[in-house]
Amino acid sequence: MSEKSLFTDKVAEKIWAQYFRRLDRWLRALDETQKQELILEIKGHLLESLQSEPSESESERLLNAIERLGEPETYVKPMLAERLLTKASKSLKPKDVLRGLYYHFVGGVKKIFAGIIFVFGYALAVSLALIGLLKVFFPGRVGLFLFEKGTLLFGLSVKPEGARTEVLGYWIIPICLGSAFLLYIGLTKLLKVLKKK
């Protein structure tokens, strides 16, 4: 049954088409298979709701069904976040993680606070990995430097000449890369746990 044949009322057809165009915009972040599954699920809910009010006109029944289900902007975010975070927890790709975080933490003070912590954590993981990699190319400028006055500098130093000693040497490479990896995996696993709540 094509969507055109769902309605005899042209207004209802137009409402249906507009609703699913808006929904389609929200679901762009999903791959095509997930997107189609979610669209079919939502169509099923709307059609079921439509059939529960046989006495009204098609357009009125459709508007009532949409009102009961809600606008895509309100109910799609949690569904989208769940699917994207599930994908991120399996793929471990930074792009998937960031997209999942975006949709999961948009809205609410607690979610914003948690989002800031996760963004900071992932930024720290990337920074540690960069420090580990840069040590190979700039061995005299990257490290944990102890200056004569007792101050420490961790990372990239523009002028390490005043440094008394470089504390970690080349051990900074496995320490930073290992820490970055563990932090990244830990944050991603924590996302998985939070997603289930």
Q: For residue 186, what pLDDT is reported?
A: 93
Same domain assignment for residues 81 and 143: yes
pLDDT at 145: 86
pLDDT at site 45: 86
pLDDT for the residue numbered 1: 42
Kindly state the DSSP code that residue 19 receives in the 8-state scheme. H
Q: Tell me the one-letter amino acid at 140.
A: G
Grouping H, G, I as helix, E, B as strand and the rest as coil, residue 30 is coil
Per-residue pLDDT of the chain (197 residues), as tens digits, is 445 567 788 888 898 889 899 888 888 878 888 888 888 988 988 888 888 877 678 888 888 888 888 888 777 777 777 778 888 888 888 888 888 777 777 655 667 778 888 899 999 999 999 999 999 998 888 988 888 788 888 888 777 566 568 888 899 999 999 999 999 999 988 888 876 65
Q: Which of 70, 98, 125 marks a domain boundary?
A: 70
Of 38, 70, 102, which closes a domain?
A: 70
Q: Which helix (H) or strand (E) holds 4?
A: none
Query: Up-side HSE of residue 151: CA atoms within 13 Å toward CB?
Result: 6
pLDDT at residue number 108: 58
SS3 state of residue 103: helix
Residues 121 and 175 placed together within one structural domain of the fold: yes
Domain span at 44: 1-70
**Of 106, 99, 46, residue with least CA distance to 78:** 106
Same domain, 55 and 80: no
Q: How many domains does the chain have?
A: 2
Same domain, 195 and 105: yes
User: Are the C-beta atoms of residues 69 and 61 closer than 8 Å to each other?
Assistant: no
Domain end, chosen from 20, 36, 70, is at 70
Is the same domain home to 93 and 167?
yes
Q: Are residues 61 and 90 in the same domain?
A: no
